[in-house]
Structure 1
C-alpha cells in the first residue's frame, strides 16, 4: 500500500509510530507544503559555526568521564554511542556490495535514522529539555585474582 501511495515503507512505519505516540506525523525539520498539507519538503539543518567536531575525540572524552564510567547505565550509553559511530571505510565496503534493488530502501532507512539523530540533538540542546538525574554508580563486585597456575 505504501508503494502505491508513492511512499517508502520506512516512512509509513515512522509516521505510524509518531501517531501512536501522539506526536506530529511530520518530523522536526520537515514542513508541510501545498494544499491540505501536501508533500513534505526537507529543511536543511542549520549551518554549523566552525569545523565539525571529531567524533572519536568526543567518544574518548565521554569514555573518560567518571559520571558515565561509574554506572551501568552510563557504560551502556557509552557502548551504544560507540556502536552508533559510523565507519566510513566499513560503510563504503558494505554498501558497495549491496544489491542495487535494495539501495533505495537503505537510503530511506538512513534518512529516517538521520532525522531521529537530528531530533535527538535538538532535544538535547533545548533549554527547556527536562532535567534528568545523573545515574547513580552501580556497586561493583571486586574481582579476585588467582595466582597463575592455581586451580579454582
Structure 2
C-alpha cells in the first residue's frame, strides 16, 4: 500500500449524498462494467468507502460502488475526502483503479500514462509505470511521442522519491566495482552507494555473472532486440490482457495481486481468501528470494529443491485447470 493510500485510509468516513457527486471524467472509456456492478450489489459485507476530491466533489474511486448503491435504491454512500490538486487527484484515481477492484483496460491505462507524463515530467518511467500498471518501456515510448512530457536531461524522480540521472552508466560502473571488491554487499547496499535502483543493481550483478558488459549497449531509437536475444533474468513479469487488447508485459505481480485482493468475488468467499493468501506469500517475498536461496542449510537443499519442484508442478496443473476454456473436473 502506498503512502497516499495510507493517508486516505486515515481520513474519517463521511456519509455523502450521491446526488452531490461528480461522476464525470471517468478513467474507463467503456463505462461501468455491469457484471462488476452486479457482484457489488449482492456483496454480503460492507464495501470500502469511495474516495472523493473535496474541492470538486469529483469521484476519484468508487464509480461501480455508486452504481450498485443506486440500483439498491440508496441515496447516500460512505466516502472519504482527498485534499489535493486536480493532477494529484487524477494520479490517485489511476493508482487506486489499477491496484484493486476491476482492472482498467490497457487503452485506458495508456491514456492515463499520457496525462501523467505531461503533468509529472520529472517522474521516472518506472514511477509512472507503477501508477498506471504498464511497463516502463511503454511509458518511455509514450513520453517520446507526447508533447510536453519531456523532463530535464539531468534526471528524474523515482518511486522512492530520489532523483536519479537519466544516464546510469556511471552508476552501473561503480556498482560493478563495488560488487567485485565486496561480493558480500546486498543489492540494496550497492544500489544506495551507486545511486541506482535495486533493479539496476540486480541487472549489473547478472551481467557480471554472465560475463557481459555492465553497461548495456544502446540501441537506436525505434529498433528492437535481435531475434533470439536473451532477456534479463532479473524479473519475469506476468502478462495480463483482455480480449481485444494487445499483450502488455512487465506488469508488477504485486499490482496484480493487489487488484485481486479487493475483488469481492474472492474476498468474500473462503476459497477465494485461501487463494489470495497463497498468492500474497509469493509477492510479499519477491525481494527476499536471493536471501532465502543463500541461507538454505546445506543438509536441506535436496529436500527443499524437490519440494519446490513439486509445488511448481502443482501450480502448473492449477494454471491449466483454471485457464480460459481449460477447466476440468477435479
How does the TM-score come out when normalised to structure 1?
0.44
Structure number with greater CO (CA < 8 Å, separation at least 6) is 1
Structure with more strand by fraction? 2
How does the TM-score come out when normalised to structure 2?
0.22
